[in-house]
């Protein structure tokens, strides 16, 4: 009596189908696990700072330090008096500082592009702006210095270029062209730092300055 081969074939097909489904599922889940692990292990850091050094007055140095570490914002202001007294203002746990938003605005305002400038205008205060970013293990940083951001935003001066051409008769032997150096982005970036934070945070900064100025 011949046995019916259909049931064993159906059973074998079922086994192969289950095995294939399990293999595809495990491969998909393994890929998801690896992707989740890579995201968890990847670091995201944004750090920005502006230091202002004053040659005169009761405050000798001010510093804004802002950071976004894996999505968590931190902010700190520090003022150093000429008498050596240091006052710090840190962000409170309940305050929300969107450093990533400030970073995006600073990028628009040229924080990666601007270069150091010679001392011009009111040279009593020197500004130093720094930025660094770490994303997916790729790191970049930049810093530059300048004085009197309003001067560079409004006056800036001119840069002259001299062209000498031996083929031209006098008086065209000497030709001079000028390029304006006005760039409002220096003032915009300084304002970005000074206007950052909640009203309470900026009020505490104002109080810190008052303490230094009063010598208390």
Give tens-digit pLDDT for 147-203.
999 999 998 755 445 555 566 555 444 454 545 578 999 999 999 999 999 999 999
Q: Using one digit for the tens of pLDDT, what is the confidence trace for 65-88? A: 999 999 899 999 999 999 999 999
Distance between CA atoms of residues 14 and 33, nearest Å: 28
Question: What average pLDDT score do residues 118-133 get?
Answer: 97
Query: What is the DSSP code (8-state) at residue 141?
Result: E
Angle at 195 between CA 118 and CA 77, to 5 degrees: 80
Report pTM. Answer: 0.72
Contacts of range 175-180, beta carbons closer than 8 Å, 24 or more positions apart: 180/156
Q: How many CB atoms lie within 10 A of CB 146?
A: 25
DSSP 117: -
Cβ-count burial of 199 within 10 angstroms (0-12 exposed, 13-18 middle, 19+ buried)?
Answer: exposed
Q: Rounded mean pLDDT of the chain?
A: 82
What is the three-class DSSP state of 176? strand
Residue 162 to residue 118: CA distance in whole angstroms: 21
Residues 117 and 152 sit within 8 Å (Cβ to Cβ) = yes
Please tell me the number of Cα atoms within 13 Å of 101 on its side-chain side.
7
| Ranges assigned E (strand) in 11-105 | 44-54, 59-69, 72-81, 86-90
Using DSSP, state whether 158 is helix, strand or coil.
strand
CA neighbor of 92 nearest in space, from 68, 73, 67, 78? 73
């Amino acid at each position: 009596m011949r046995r019916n081969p259909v049931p064993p074939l159906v059973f074998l097909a079922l086994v192969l189908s289950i095995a294939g489904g399990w293999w595809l599922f495990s491969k998909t889940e393994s890929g998801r696990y690896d992707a989740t692990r890579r995201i968890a292990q990847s670091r995201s850091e944004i750090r920005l700072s502006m230091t202002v050094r004053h040659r005169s007055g009761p405050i000798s140095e001010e510093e804004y330090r802002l950071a976004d570490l894996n999505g968590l914002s931190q902010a700190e202001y520090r003022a150093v008096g000429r008498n050596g007294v240091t006052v710090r203002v840190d962000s409170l746990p309940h305050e929300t500082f969107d450093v990533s938003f400030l970073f995006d605005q600073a990028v628009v305002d040229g924080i990666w592009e601007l270069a150091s400038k010679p001392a011009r205008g009111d040279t009593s205060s020197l500004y130093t702006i720094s930025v660094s970013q770490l994303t997916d293990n790729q790191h970049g940083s930049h810093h530059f210095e300048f004085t009197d951001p309003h001067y560079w935003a409004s006056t800036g001066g001119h840069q002259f270029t001299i062209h000498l051409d031996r083929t031209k008769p006098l008086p065209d032997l000497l030709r001079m062209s000028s390029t304006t150096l006005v760039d409002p982005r220096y003032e915009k970036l300084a304002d970005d730092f000074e206007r950052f934070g909640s009203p309470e945070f900026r009020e505490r900064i104002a109080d810190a300055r008052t303490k230094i100025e009063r010598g208390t």
